[in-house]
A and B are shown apart, each in its own frame.
Chain A
Amino acid sequence: MKKSITILTSLAIICYCFIQAVKEDGFGPFQPSALSLEIPKGWPEPNNIFKKNKLTVEGFNVGRRLFYDPLLSKDSSISCASCHQQFAAFSTFDHDLSHGVANTFTTRNAPALFNIAWMKEMHWDGGINHLEVQPLAPLTNPNEMGSKIANIIQYLNDDTSYQRMFKAAFGDAKINSQRVLKALAQFTGSMISANSKYDKVKRGEASFSKIEERGYALFKKNCAACHAEPLFTDNSFRNNGQSLNRFKDYGRQMITGQSKDSLKFKVPSLRNVQVTAPYMHDGNMFGLPQVIEHYAKGIKTEQPTLDPLLKNRLEINNKELYDLMYFLFTLTDSSYLKDPRFSGRTSNVHNNHN
């Protein structure tokens, strides 16, 4: 009797499991592997970007493949990674402006991508209010990837390997814009750069040279009010005294519609600044000395919206300029520039076990 009860019970459990499995996706239970963000010690809490978008290995992998897929663009020539290159901390190497489809140019410098989970607003003008909706801009902009969301969704739904990956990430093979955007957010939101020499010094694993030490003191005195540690930006929008450019780009004012925001642009992080040249919203400054010189000599003090912190010009001699630059070089996170998790080579594996 006891034996038959055991057999019956086992049968019932097997039946139940089978029914549940079939209900979920027809093959096996949906069990994505949870991922968690590693928040560097001493950093502020990031935005809760994964509250309604559970971060998983499978979701991250879909995001990575999408990030590196040129077939998302109108003419299959440009992926997100075309303008966001890992070796340049995901900015465009050596380009003031980036290339869009059919020989077009963007009108702004592609920003480096890292520590996005700490940003409330994206783009130079802060026009993007949530990480998930950011990709809609470059995907559809005629001078970037020039695509249509409907075409992208069609392409992904026609590709069985994408279907398998979406199923592994979200439980079924439905591919809609929401899932595409959430997967991309899992990838880009996970990009954390916090392993530079500066970070090692802060963790007590390395020490600054004398010249770097002097540069750090100069940085704290002159730059840290806006490029605040540990993110090296306060993510605010400020006018740093450049002329209105040839694209009539008024920056933040174009989003808020308020003249008090004229010529204000996002304060970029100085992390990895060594590899993200050229600089400024339109890439008009090709080297770090040029940028530092701008704060010493180039600021257009007559602009009414000029940041109050820049009313007095930076006083810096040639020796100090080099000290400051050597400190800025300690912000390069070489492990981030080679991290295989964010590499395009890894994404060529189209299964769920990479």
Chain B
Amino acid sequence: MRYLSLLCFILIFYFPANSVAQGGHDTSTSLHIIFRNTANQKKIVLRDSIYVTPAGEKYTITKLKYYISNIRIGENILDEAHNFQLISEPADVSFNIPVTPGIYTEISFLLGIDSLYHCSGAQEGVLDPMNDMFWTWNSGYVMFKLEGSSENSKADKNRIEHHIGGYRNNQKIATPLTLSFKETLNIKIGEQKEITITADLDQYWNSKNKILIAEKPVCTLPGEIARTIAANFTMMFSINSVQ
């Protein structure tokens, strides 16, 4: 009889416990983060719209993609699935992260990917090389990709092709950023809040360094030029709204 009750015990408790474990933790309290990519104070539209750099060079954009990782808000530590995000115009410009209820004053993240992930073999998810953000001949991720065209570009087909990457010692471009909220953000249990982060391409062309399309239409290698351009990442991002 003792065996029978033990058996019942196993049957009753093992299976439900297992299914709960698979159900995952409560993720209803979350933060929705939207990246609003702008140029000339307007949300960018691929192909059709013409923008002007602060130096007066007219250009169009055909592709804008970049990696965001190591997202930190308060003490929340994200799992790998949430930790890497590929922002890609026009479809993928926002994502949700689970957070614990609390009062927050800032958010920090890495523009790019930690050097470890550039040299640890084949990755999946947003780090899958199929996303066209991996250099096949010189292993490592392109962390910021801007493509378009401009009459100021002397490259083939007047193209602009900025593939910014590099993880080796003297080539690092991943940029840690911390953005403070204008007002504190109070997230209560079960609430979903939303923040919008603006990525301003005007700052990309001219903030810490002045980048002229006429001089640097193409950058598809890690190194000096990539680092000069990447220095402007620091000024590009700001919190636009919190709600």
Q: Identify which of B10, B121, B138, B222 contacts A130 (C-beta below 8 A).
A: B121
1-45 of chain A: CB within 8 A of chain B:
1, 5, 8-9, 12, 19
116-140 of chain B: CB within 8 A of chain A:
118-124, 128-130, 134, 136-140
Size bin of chain B's contact surface: 20 to 34
Query: How far does the alpha carbon of A131 sit from the alpha carbon of B139 in the complex, in Å?
Result: 10
Query: Which one of A134-142, A217-225, A226-234, A319-327 is at the interface?
Result: A134-142
Given A137-B136, A176-B124, A257-B222, A149 and B119 contact (CB-CB distance below 8 Å):
no
Residues of B within 8 A of A130 (CB): 119-122, 139
Query: Which one of A177-185, A284-292, A293-301 is at the interface?
Result: A177-185
Determine whether B46 belongs to the interface, using a CB cutoff of 8 Å to chain A. no
Given A8-B4, A257-B171, A129 and B140 contact (CB-CB distance below 8 Å):
yes
Cross-chain contact A149 with B130 (CB below 8 angstroms):
yes
Determine whether A201 belongs to the interface, using a CB cutoff of 8 Å to chain B. no
Q: Identify which of B11, B128, B168 contacts A177 (C-beta below 8 A).
A: B128
Determine whether A244 belongs to the interface, using a CB cutoff of 8 Å to chain B. no
Cross-chain contact A176 with B4 (CB below 8 angstroms):
no
**Interface of A: prevailing SS:** helix
A-B contact count (CB 8 A): 80
Given A129-B119, A178-B128, A181-B122, A257 and B221 contact (CB-CB distance below 8 Å):
yes
Residues of B within 8 A of A129 (CB): 118-119, 139-140
Given A132-B121, A150-B130, A177-B129, A257 and B223 contact (CB-CB distance below 8 Å):
yes
Chain B residue, CB-CB nearest to A123: B137
Q: Identify which of B11, B120, B139, B222 contacts A12 (C-beta below 8 A).
A: B11
Determine whether A337 belongs to the interface, using a CB cutoff of 8 Å to chain B. no
Given A257-B223, A257-B224, A176 and B138 contact (CB-CB distance below 8 Å):
no
Determine whether A206 belongs to the interface, using a CB cutoff of 8 Å to chain B. no
Determine whether A246 belongs to the interface, using a CB cutoff of 8 Å to chain B. no
Determine whether A128 belongs to the interface, using a CB cutoff of 8 Å to chain B. yes
Determine whether B13 belongs to the interface, using a CB cutoff of 8 Å to chain A. no
Residues of A within 8 A of B170 (CB): 257-258
Cross-chain contact A255 with B138 (CB below 8 angstroms):
yes
Cross-chain contact B130 with A182 (CB below 8 angstroms):
no
Chain B residue, CB-CB nearest to A127: B138
Residues 168-193 of A, flagged 1 when their CB comes within 8 A of B and 0 if not, give 00000000111001100100000000
Q: Identify which of A5, A149, A176, A185 contacts B121 (C-beta below 8 A).
A: A185
Residues of B within 8 A of A258 (CB): 170
Query: How far does the alpha carbon of A127 sit from the alpha carbon of B136 in the complex, in Å?
Result: 9
Query: How far does the alpha carbon of A182 sit from the alpha carbon of B121 in the complex, in Å?
Result: 8
Chain A residue, CB-CB nearest to B139: A129
Cross-chain contact A12 with B130 (CB below 8 angstroms):
no
Query: How far does the alpha carbon of A176 sit from the alpha carbon of B15 in the complex, in Å?
Result: 31
Determine whether B242 belongs to the interface, using a CB cutoff of 8 Å to chain A. no
Cross-chain contact A141 with B137 (CB below 8 angstroms):
yes
Most B CB contacts (10 A, CB to CB) among A53, A123, A128, A136 go to A136
Cross-chain contact B139 with A127 (CB below 8 angstroms):
yes
Residues of B within 8 A of A137 (CB): 136-137
Chain B residue, CB-CB nearest to A49: B121
Residues of A within 8 A of B15 (CB): 19
Given A181-B121, A181-B122, A9 and B130 contact (CB-CB distance below 8 Å):
no
9-28 of chain B: CB within 8 A of chain A:
10-11, 15
122-172 of chain B: CB within 8 A of chain A:
122-124, 128-130, 134, 136-140, 168, 170-171
297-337 of chain A: CB within 8 A of chain B:
none
Chain B residue, CB-CB nearest to A133: B139
Residues of B within 8 A of A349 (CB): none
Cross-chain contact A5 with B3 (CB below 8 angstroms):
yes
Cross-chain contact A12 with B7 (CB below 8 angstroms):
yes
Cross-chain contact A9 with B138 (CB below 8 angstroms):
no
Query: How far does the alpha carbon of A53 sit from the alpha carbon of B123 in the complex, in Å?
Result: 12
Chain A residue, CB-CB nearest to B10: A12
**A237 CB to nearest chain B CB (Å):** 14
Cross-chain contact A133 with B222 (CB below 8 angstroms):
no
Q: Identify which of A5, A127, A177, A256 contacts B130 (C-beta below 8 A).
A: A177
Residues of A within 8 A of B134 (CB): 133, 136
Residues of A within 8 A of B224 (CB): 257
In the complex, besides A5-B4, A52-B120, 7 extra interface pairs with C-beta distance below 8 angstroms are A5-B3, A19-B15, A133-B122, A133-B134, A150-B130, A257-B224, A258-B170
List the 5 closest A-B pairs by CB distance, nearest first.
Answer: A132-B121, A181-B122, A257-B223, A136-B136, A129-B139
